[in-house]
Structure 1
Amino acid sequence: MATLEIAACSRWYGNVVAVNDVTMTIGPGITGLLGPNGAGKSTLIHMLGGFLPPSTGTVTLDGAAIWKNQGAYRTIGLVPEREATYDFLTGRQLAVASAELHGLPDAGAAAARAIATVEMGDAQDRKIGEYSKGMKQRIKMASALVHDPAVLLLDEPFNGMDPRQRLHLIALLRSMGAEGRTVLFSSHILEEVEQLAHQIEVIVAGRHAASGDYREIRRLMTDRPHQYTITSSDNRVLASALVADGSTAGVSLDGATLRVQATEFLAFAELLPRVARDAGVRLYEVSPADESLESVFSYLVTA
């Protein structure tokens, strides 16, 4: 069993801060790294994999620094997000090359086992340039598994996979987590993470925004204030009725639009039709104003 620790870790490129003072512990089992695109997930995974040094802070594996630690590479398998591979190689050649780089005594046998694990045997002798995006993801996975790593880091591993490939990868990662391996995978889709991870770490704009199991993260997202824009037959009467009810955090008129901040999603969904009916107001349009992933995650940073 292996444990990854990130302590007060930052990484910047010139004036751009990609990871900002992040501290977290990733232990055996499956952990999901959740956040919108551009949040810093890839940078964090590359530091955990030993491909980038932190600008400040420490990144360790079982207490030993990962950067420039050759022994750590024997324990870690990395599946990067980037699709770029050696397209002139066959899938088998790529896996064998990875096994040889790890210095395995029987690189061919190790590659064959990894390819069978990801169910790429039928396509192993085709050139990678002929693969679909999902197939490229799987052969990258095989290359990361040749040395049977105790730690597996995957950056957006489900991108480009068809439903059957996704189900197979989910089953594979679950089995690895059950074996006691430390599996960390990133995603910007909460439902994707919910299917797999027992622990979720949320990162937004390079900052560690939240931590917990998926039920806790889902509760935080659901319970945040929700903003709506409303048009109705009489916005002023409706605004007065909502203020009088006292169940909203804020109401404002913006031209022909009524803006409402609700403290609880489900309560407001029941409240609005009732208040409009009692006030004799007809609702024309009710639209969420802050339902993007970026706005949801950003709320967690400031909560």
Structure 2
Amino acid sequence: MSDLVLDKVSRWFGNVVAVNDVTMTIGPGVTGLLGPNGAGKTTLMAMMAGFLAPSSGTVTLDGEPVWRHTDAYRLIGLVPERELSFGYLTGRQFVRANADLHRLPDAAGATERILEVVDMVEPSARRIDTYSKGMRQRVKIAAALVHDPTVLLLDEPFNGVDPRQRMHLMDLLRRLGDDGCTVLFSSHILEEVERLARHIEVVVSGRHAASGDFGAIRRLMTDRPVRYSITSSDDRALAAVLIARPAVQSVNLRPQGGLEVQVSDLGTFAADLAPLTRSHGLTLFELSPSDESLESVFAYLVDR
């Protein structure tokens, strides 16, 4: 198990600041690195992988600096977003070349094993320049995994991958995370992150905007009203009761049934709701937050 630690990391290119004073720790399991296009995700990945030096701050793997620390590369697998420039090689040759670079004792066996893991055994005899985008993504993942790294960094790994292949790769990353591998993947597609990683690191305009479970992040947003979906034995009667409460900002009846309630003081609302409904002879059937999704959290962080 390995920990990647970024401490006050910045990176600039001339007068352009791509990453600004980012501090975060990436540990075992699957973590999503989330941000809009141009937020600095790829630059962060390059510094974590040791391919780019921080302009200031440090990136360490298990306490050792990653930049110019060649032993660290044995523990890291990188799947870059950019396209492969080795189209003249077959998929098998490309993965085998990575196995040879790591001086694996059984490079041929490791190559065949990992090609099977990513479901690329049959196409591996073909040249990479004949592959679809999804196949090129899978062969990049195979090359990154051939030496069994403890840290796997993936930059937009699902771009161009069809739905069946996406499910296969998501299952693979979950298994790696469950086995103790430190898996970090970047994406600007909220659905991908929500399905694969509960823990997120959010980067906006080169800055670290949030870290943690996205439900917990939402609950820390005290300056934003909380919305709840509620169904009861008599929704209209409950709406009349709730709208008179000081903590309730608005109540809307949903066409499909139930209420959409917006509250400013979650603590007061939660404490009062059960005795309030009981005293009016009403029964609650459902109470759930309606804005604790990753989409809601992300929109708030980007727009603030």
User: How far apart, in 2, do the equivalents of 1:223 and 1:168 lie?
Assistant: 40
Corresponding residue of 2:205: 205
User: How far apart, in 1, do the equivalents of 2:109 and 2:155 lie?
Assistant: 26
Whichever residue aligns with residue 116 of structure 1, its letter is E
Question: Could you list the per-position Cα deviations for residues 77-135 of structure 1 after superposition, in whole angstroms to 9, with x for gaps in the alignment?
Answer: 00001123311100000000011111112221111111111010010001100101010
Query: Do 1:200 and 1:217's aligned partners in 2 also have CA atoms closer than 8 Å?
Result: no
| Alignment partner of 1:139 is 2:139 | yes
Note closer, same or farther for the CA distance 1:30–1:295 as it changes in structure 2 (3 Å cut).
closer
Query: In the TM superposition, what are the counterparts of 1:191-270 in structure 2 within 5 Å?
Result: 191-217=191-217, 224=224, 247=249, 266-267=260-261
Corresponding residue of 1:171: 171
Q: Percent identity?
A: 63
User: How far apart, in 2, do the equivalents of 1:116 and 1:80 lie?
Assistant: 21
User: How far apart, in 2, do the equivalents of 1:110 and 1:186 lie?
Assistant: 26
Note closer, same or farther for the CA distance 1:220–1:41 as it changes in structure 2 (3 Å cut).
farther
Query: In the TM superposition, what are the counterparts of 1:1-303 in structure 2 within 5 Å?
Result: 1-217=1-217, 224=224, 247=249, 266-267=260-261, 296-299=300-303, 302=304
Whichever residue aligns with residue 16 of structure 1, its letter is V
Q: Secondary structure at the match of 1:194?
A: helix
How many angstroms does 1:293 deviate by? 9.9
Query: Do 1:90 and 1:128's aligned partners in 2 also have CA atoms closer than 8 Å?
Result: yes
* Alignment TM-score, normalising by the size of structure 1: 0.75
How many angstroms does 1:28 deviate by? 0.5
User: How far apart, in 2, do the equivalents of 1:98 and 1:176 lie?
Assistant: 20
Query: Do 2:214 and 2:297's aligned partners in 1 also have CA atoms closer than 8 Å?
Result: no
Question: Could you list the per-position Cα deviations for residues 19-67 of structure 1 after superposition, in whole angstroms to 9, with x for gaps in the alignment?
Answer: 0000000111111101101100000011000000100000000000000
Corresponding residue of 1:271: none
Whichever residue aligns with residue 119 of structure 2, its letter is E
Note closer, same or farther for the CA distance 1:2–1:292 as it changes in structure 2 (3 Å cut).
closer
Q: Secondary structure at the match of 1:124?
A: helix
User: How far apart, in 2, do the equivalents of 1:125 and 1:247 lie?
Assistant: 63
Query: Do 2:115 and 2:142's aligned partners in 1 also have CA atoms closer than 8 Å?
Result: yes
User: How far apart, in 1, do the equivalents of 2:5 and 2:198 lie?
Assistant: 17
How many angstroms does 1:217 deviate by? 4.2
Query: Do 1:91 and 1:126's aligned partners in 2 also have CA atoms closer than 8 Å?
Result: yes
Note closer, same or farther for the CA distance 1:83–1:217 as it changes in structure 2 (3 Å cut).
farther
5+ residue gaps in structure 1?
227-245, 249-265, 269-290
Whichever residue aligns with residue 204 of structure 1, its letter is V
Corresponding residue of 1:256: none
Name the count of aligned residue pairs: 245
Question: Could you list the per-position Cα deviations for residues 136-191 of structure 1 after superposition, in whole angstroms to 9, with x for gaps in the alignment?
Answer: 00000000011000100000111101010000001000000010110000011222
Q: Runs of 4 or more off by more than 6 Å in structure 1?
A: 220-223, 291-294
Aligned-residue CA RMSD (Å): 2.6
Query: Do 2:217 and 2:297's aligned partners in 1 also have CA atoms closer than 8 Å?
Result: no
Question: Could you list the per-position Cα deviations for residues 225-261 of structure 1 after superposition, in whole angstroms to 9, with x for gaps in the alignment?
Answer: 79xxxxxxxxxxxxxxxxxxx949xxxxxxxxxxxxx
Whichever residue aligns with residue 52 of structure 2, its letter is L
User: Is the deviation greater in 103-112 or in 52-61?
Assistant: 103-112
Corresponding residue of 1:286: none
Note closer, same or farther for the CA distance 1:294–1:2 as it changes in structure 2 (3 Å cut).
closer
Whichever residue aligns with residue 297 of structure 1, its letter is L
5+ residue gaps in structure 2?
227-247, 251-259, 263-294
Note closer, same or farther for the CA distance 1:132–1:213 as it changes in structure 2 (3 Å cut).
same
How many angstroms does 1:219 deviate by? 5.5
* Alignment TM-score, normalising by the size of structure 2: 0.75
